[in-house]
Amino acid sequence: EATEEEEAAAEKAAVAMENAAPLPGSLRPDVIVELMSPEAEPMAARNLLFAVAPYLHGMFSRRLAGREMGDMDEIRPDHPWYQIASDAALRVGLDRFEILVDRSLGHRSVVIPGNTPALVLGEKLMEMAQPRTFGFLVGRAWAQAVTGSAFLEWADLHELELVLAGIVSQFDREFGQDLASRSDLAERGKAFMKQVPRRVRKSIEEPALVYAQAGAVGMATWQEAARTTAVRVGLCACGDLRGAAEVLRAEKADDDVLTGLLLYNIGSRLVRAREACGAVVAR
């Protein structure tokens, strides 16, 4: 059980977060990894995906292009919400993006990865949005875009696992033969390398070899852990627990997700994350 001092610290942190403003600084990758990622998120897999994500779009372009979406309208730069999205994008190092409204999505939202990632909002979700609610949505979305975890939502998980194995096989020919034949993996790996500038290829080698040594990755577990990371980034970006919870309830998130967010909100890691990003947090 928590001591009186721990309970007092948690209450103070909760009050501080309740009154927090959106972040003035940037959400650096090291802050996301150290203070927002749950233990269940496999570090080696996350680091490899982060390294290859900028060039992964071409491996799934047909699936991305063929994804069934409804009638969509673009939110233009003169829209009031666009500046919130732009500020959030800058904090995670994203220099271009699109925001779309899809009448068929209802209260849901999705992130389309790619060279110009897009946040697609359901029309009903857009109607209920308030500034900090919207701040949570874009903070979560851009976290998925820059870390590459959006591919864990869009791609078939087994196919993504094969693509990652194919990439690794370019540096370790023995890797992944329990998943597919050597020739199949080599084909995927070579197709990916064609997307990557030569000057970048060497930087992929280290995370690929670490991934090879780390052992099997539970893709579904990784997907859930990456979702948790993105939710935490969204909360950190908007500084509004009620707004974040309102979005998650509208999306019919499991009670475990809401409970996890509440526990993270009263913990020290969120306070430290906001301080690392330049927010002034009362203690």
Residue-wise pLDDT tens digits, 76-126 = 888 878 888 888 887 777 888 888 888 888 877 888 888 788 888 888 877
Q: Which residue has the higher pLDDT, 69 or 113?
A: 113
pLDDT tens per residue, range 126-180: 777 787 788 888 889 988 988 899 999 888 999 999 999 999 999 999 999 999 9
Q: How confident is the model at residue 62 (pLDDT cuts 50, 70, 90)?
A: low
pLDDT at 207: 95
Of 113, 135, 136, which is closest to residue 50 (Cα–Cα)?
113
User: Exposed/middle/buried for 193, CB within 10 Å: 0-12, 13-18, 19+?
Assistant: middle
Cα three-residue angle 50-188-200, rounded to 5 degrees: 45
DSSP assignments along 209-227, one per residue: HHHHHH----HHHHHHHHH
Residue 211 CA to residue 231 CA, distance in Å, equals: 25
Is the pTM value of this prediction over 0.85? no
Q: How confident is the model at residue 63 (pLDDT cuts 50, 70, 90)?
A: low
pLDDT cut 70: percent of the chain above it? 84
| Mean pLDDT rounded to a whole number for the chain | 82
Residue 27 has pLDDT above 80, yes or no: no
Residue 73 has pLDDT above 50, yes or no: yes
Q: How confident is the model at residue 17 (pLDDT cuts 50, 70, 90)?
A: very low
Mean pLDDT, residues 220-224 taken together: 95
The encoded tokens of residue 274 equal: 């906001």
* Phi-psi category of residue 176: left, alpha or beta, with phi > 0 → left and psi -120 to 50 → alpha: left
Of 4, 26, 35, 11, which is closest to residue 282 (Cα–Cα)?
11
